[in-house]
Structures are given as structure tokens and as C-alpha cells.
Amino acid sequence: MSLFHRLPPVFRALGAQALAFAGLVALARLGLRFPPMVWLLAQATGAVFLSRFAALPFRWLLIQAALPFLVWAAWGLGLPAWIYLALFLVLAAVFGGGLLTRVPLYHASRDAWKKLEDLVPDRPGVRFVDLGCGFGGPVAHLAKARPDATFVGVEASPFTWLVAWLRCLPWRNARIRLGSLWRTDLAAFDVAYAFLSPVPMPALGAKARREMRPGTRLISHSFEIPGETPLRVIPVKGREGARLMVWDF
Ligand SMILES: C[S@@+](CC[C@H](N)C(=O)[O-])C[C@H]1O[C@@H](n2cnc3c(N)ncnc32)[C@H](O)[C@@H]1O
């Protein structure tokens, strides 16, 4: 796989748009003149064509086709430039943490929180980490249910982290850290829980095998670690196929 193909889809998509745009600028410099709609169509067609080379999935091709027209429409609104910067910053604050690792923000159900409670070993001083804790629902619930254990959430998106931090303030045994799960040493925990996406699971499995101590537990919500059969699979309410997978080291 080339270096380009290993880039996250968002960068491949931007690369395809930029290349298509560069091609059109070259044509304009040669003196070609067309109505704006033709330029937009050419930009969309070029970007979709290049996106196929960039191995982007079908839904990205639809986004690539629509993007030039949406940009044109937004331009026509005459909005001040700072609005785009502000929107970008808000989106980055909420979703930025998962952009590169391709992990969106969504939440485990209350049923999953309850079932997680049963998976925290019943001895005082247990340390639990939620890798990518979102708005902190599981950490807050568990910290309230188990005052004898410590619950840590790690979250990479600043706004999401702030919500989780505020939500967990009432619980002295809950801590929410702003940072990357990849920089969190799992050796410090008895239970590591993650609800991410299929993309980081091979790397998470390798990290857990490297760092987790014997007698500790890894729980993944809904996403498998390729090649690792879970010890237990517990269905939970939520999207279709929602389940907790448990591996004991
Ligand atoms: C699907 S949500 C899960 C929320 C929560 N753990 C739950 O079970 O309800 C995944 C979260 O992981 C965060 N995330 C993604 N990549 C991360 C990373 N490398 N380090 C820390 N957090 C990350 C995202 O910002 C998102 O809030």
C-alpha cells in the first residue's frame, strides 16, 4: 500500500479535490473559458475520478461530487470569512480527536453502562480506563456505582473532554484526561474499556498485548480485535449488533 493510500480518508479526499483544482487552474491558464457551472462539473468529475484512485469508499465519492457545488453555494451567501474558521474550530473541538483515528463520537447505552458495572472486578482499589470516553457517561455511571474503585477517562477532543470533565466533577474517584489513548499506558489499569471503530482495533489489540498485565481485562464495545476470540460476548441495548466483548489476560 502506498504512503498516499495509508493517509486518513479526509486527507485523500482533500488531495483529490486539490489535484482536480490544480488541473482546472492549468486549463484556465491556457486560456480556456467556460461558464461557472461547467467548471464546477469539471471539478466534481475530476475529484470523483481521482478519489477512485485514492481507494475512497462510495459514500466519499458522493461527498466529493457535491463538495464543489456546496462551496459555490456557500460562497454565494456572502458570509464573513470568520464564520468558516469558527465552524471549523467548533467541529474540531467536538470531533477532532477521532478524525485521524477515524473514530466518531457516539455513546454506549445505559444498558451497556449497567453491564460494564458487572465486568469491573469486585475488589477495592480496581483501576478502570475508558479509552476515548466521549461525554463521560460510562465513567460517571461507574464512579457513582463503585466508590471503592478509580475510573479514568481519556478523550482527545477538547470540547468533548470538557463536557466529560464537568460531568464527572461530582465523583472524587473519576478523572478525565485530555489526550490520546495511544499515549495512555495500559499497565496502570486493571480494566481497559474502548468503544471506538473497526479501524484502530488491530493497533488497540497490539497495544493491550504489549502493556496489559496478567490478570487484567480488556473490554471492547461492538468492535472486534481481528484474530482474538473474546472470552465472553454480552449483548447490550443500542445499535444492531451492539455487544461487549471481554478478553482476560
Ligand atoms: C464512540 S465514542 C465512545 C464514548 C464512550 N467511551 C462510550 O462508550 O459511550 C469514541 C470517543 O473516542 C474519542 N477518541 C477517538 N480517538 C481517540 C484517541 N486517539 N484518543 C482519545 N480519544 C479518542 C472520540 O473523540 C470519541 O469521543
Give the pLDDT score at 99: 67
Query: From the CA of 159, how far away is ligand 1's center (Å)?
Result: 12
Whole-number Å distance between alpha carbons of 21 and 106: 34
Mean pLDDT by runs of 10 across the 249 residues of the chain is 72 94 93 89 96 90 95 88 88 73 82 96 95 96 96 93 95 96 96 94 95 96 93 91 93
Give the pLDDT score at 238: 84
Give the pLDDT score at 76: 86
Query: From the CA of 10, how far away is ligand 1's center (Å)?
Result: 18
Give the pLDDT score at 206: 96
Every domain of the chain with CATH number 3.40.50.150 lies at: 110-248
Best residue among 95, 139, 157 to mutate for probing ligand 1, ranked by most atoms within 8 Å of CB? 157
Which 8-state DSSP code applies to residue 237? S
Q: Give the global pTM.
A: 0.78
| DSSP character string of 14-59 | HHHHHHHHHHHHHHHHTT----HHHHHHHHHHHHHHHHHHTT--HH
Q: What angle do CA 157, 162, 168 make, to 5 degrees?
A: 120
| Entry field: residues in the chain | 249
Whole-number Å distance between alpha carbons of 240 and 237: 8
Whole-number Å distance between alpha carbons of 230 and 209: 14
Architecture per CATH, 110-248: 3-Layer(aba) Sandwich (3.40)
